[in-house]
Amino acid sequence: MKDIKLWLWLLLFGSLWGIVEVVVGEILFGYDVPYASVWLAVWALFILAVGRGVMNRAGTSTFIGAFAAVFKLVNASPNYCHLLAIFALGLIFDVFSTVLMKDNRRILLRCSLTGLLSAYGGRAFFALLSTYIMRYEHWVTGGSEYILGHIFVRGSIAALISAAVVPIGYTIGINGEITLKKHPRWAFAGSLVTSVFLWALVRIV
């Protein structure tokens, strides 16, 4: 049961991330909203922080990112560049949160640092991977100027906001986990129903 509950939580948080990528992301990019990727990254890091508060163990954030990428792959036109960005952010957040958020000493400061480093690190990892390994045309033709703008201009905005958002998300996750332990059956049922609802909702929207 515990393993099933864990996977359901991973699916739920991945779906909460994924539905925003599909619905809100399509709107932001469709209307060329400035810094669209920044707002999506901030939401992603908030969800990852909440998930870490509920399940503070290595690997969970990577799986949340993987589920979010699958959610977008299934429910939107395939854009493998975006899917890679989603997975990369989950992976990088996993690395920093595993190192910095493994105990409760100065946890809010550690959360802020995790958000800051994950925003920069996720963008750097994705940009370099897209340009020099995957060789996506948009990134290759953009050159170093585009890469640096992605990391240090848009990345700085995401990093500053995430430094405030990640501690909030982690605190919500911690408090929620305490409440969920008191009502394990309701928590299990709620995570299942909400996940199913999100997958059905995106089809309707």
Residue-wise pLDDT for 138-180, tens only, equals 899 988 999 999 999 999 999 999 999 999 999 999 999 888 8
Q: Give domain limits for the chain.
A: 2-204
Average pLDDT for residues 183-193, to the nearest whole number?
A: 90
- The one-character DSSP state at 21 is I
CA-to-CA separations, 9 to 13, 26, 82, in angstroms, rounded: 6, 25, 23
The stretches of the chain forming alpha helices (DSSP H) are 2-19, 25-30, 36-54, 60-75, 80-100, 107-128, 137-148, 154-182, 184-204
| Statement: residue 1 has pLDDT above 60 | no
pLDDT of residue 2: 57
CA-to-CA separations, 104 to 100, 107, 174, in angstroms, rounded: 10, 5, 11
Q: Mind listing the pLDDT tens digit for each residue in 60-93?
A: 999 999 999 999 999 987 788 999 999 999 999 9
Q: Mind listing the pLDDT tens digit for each residue in 43-65?
A: 999 999 999 999 999 999 999 99
pTM of this structure: 0.95
| Statement: residue 103 has pLDDT above 90 | no
| Statement: residue 11 has pLDDT above 80 | yes
Exposure string of 64-95, with b = 16+ CB inside 10 Å and e = fewer, is bbbbbbbbbbebbeeeeebbbbbbbbbbbbbb
Average pLDDT for residues 26-34, to the nearest whole number?
A: 92
Do the Cβ atoms of 134 and 84 come closer than 8 Å?
Answer: yes
